[in-house]
Amino acid sequence: MPPSTLVRFRKRDSGEIVEEAIFSERTLRWFYEHPVGSLVFRGLLNNRPFCDWYGRQMDRPRTAARIPDFIAQFGIDMAEAEPATYKSFNAFFTRRLLPTARPFDQDPRALCAAGDGKALVYPVLDEDVRLPIKGTACSPEALLAGEAAAFAGGAALILRLAPYDYHRFHFPDGGMAAAARRVPGGYHSVNPIALAKVPDLFCRNKRDVTIVETDHFGKVAIIEVAAITIGTIVQTYQPGRVERGQEKGYFQYGGSTVVLLFEPGRVRFDDDLVADSVAGLEVAVKCGSRIGLSARG
């Protein structure tokens, strides 16, 4: 078996670099770091029927018994959540937070994080840049599965959600949003353990693509990437005018990823995120927090 991938990230609020607590780590490593596990994953699990079946299991009332242990294991602050009785694990997983828990920066120049997660930023998408930084991954054209000329030479943000994160995603700025376009694909895990083995998985996985003509950052492509056990990406917005901080949708059970693509010269990511991303170090950010500024004032 090859050496295991060690997953570390920086907590932006404290600056501390920590090793990530990975949900079902042993199973995930078996799927991606053991030849037999890889065969099982490819042959039986990396498909829509399995993910749909697993999602239905997480909707069953008996799964609610798993919630207390999950909260305790990952130290989830339930004081942030709206008061609710969760009748299944999926109901808990897609929980809403109190409006005060994730306030959006109201400076119109500020680029706000679209969700909770571990961030990597790419200030310039030149011809040699592939997403993510490690490995030979996919180009913006492949990720969008369509015309990407507007984003050539632009910028990108990858926001990876772990299973314990808040799993609703929001619009980072106001603007006019088109309808989401579904791109079919597989269901690889988006954890760095999987990325080390399948670096182009963002372009292999099922995903939704939404183009937004934003108020302060020009045209932005928002891509939600599905993952193992996530058969469903739910869009809760209506095409048309949207506002900064408005809920866009949510992922059902499992961790996943949101990718944002920007036109050239429209955004300047904060220096600390740029420095860490160059080093391949993810940074934990909160939904609504500032991660950059408009490059046009």
Catalytic choice (88, 116, 165, 189): 116
Torsion of CA 252, 244, 112, 260, to 10 degrees: 60
Cα–chain-centroid distance for residue 128? 23
Separation between Cα atoms, residue 110 and residue 267, nearest integer Å: 9
Predicted pLDDT at 125: 81
Predicted pLDDT at 134: 36
Hey, where are the domains in the chain?
1-297
Burial of 182 (0-12, 13-18, 19+ CB in 10 A): middle
Predicted pLDDT at 137: 56
Predicted pLDDT at 141: 80
Predicted confidence (pLDDT) per residue in 33-92, tens digit: 656 666 655 555 555 666 666 667 778 999 999 999 999 988 999 999 999 999 999 899
**Residue pair 278/121 in contact by the 8 Å Cβ criterion:** no
Catalytic choice (167, 170, 188, 216): 170
**Residue pair 126/154 in contact by the 8 Å Cβ criterion:** no
Predicted pLDDT at 136: 41
Kindly state the helix (H) or strand (E) to which residue 112 belongs, with its residue range: strand 110-112
Active site residue 170: yes
Pairing between strand 233-235 and 17-19?
unpaired
Catalytic choice (88, 189, 200, 256): 256
Active site residue 215: no
List phi, psi (to 5°) of 292: 180, -175
Residues of the chain under the 70 pLDDT cut:
1-6, 21-55, 127-138, 185-204, 227-231, 254-255, 297
Q: Which residues contact 97 (CB under 8 A, 6 or more apart)?
A: 80, 81, 82, 166, 168
Q: Which runs of E-coded beta strand occur in 14-79?
A: 17-19
Predicted pLDDT at 81: 96
Active site residue 139: no
Q: Which residues contact 127 (CB under 8 A, 6 or more apart)?
A: none
Predicted confidence (pLDDT) per residue in 88-113, tens digit: 998 998 999 998 999 999 899 999 99
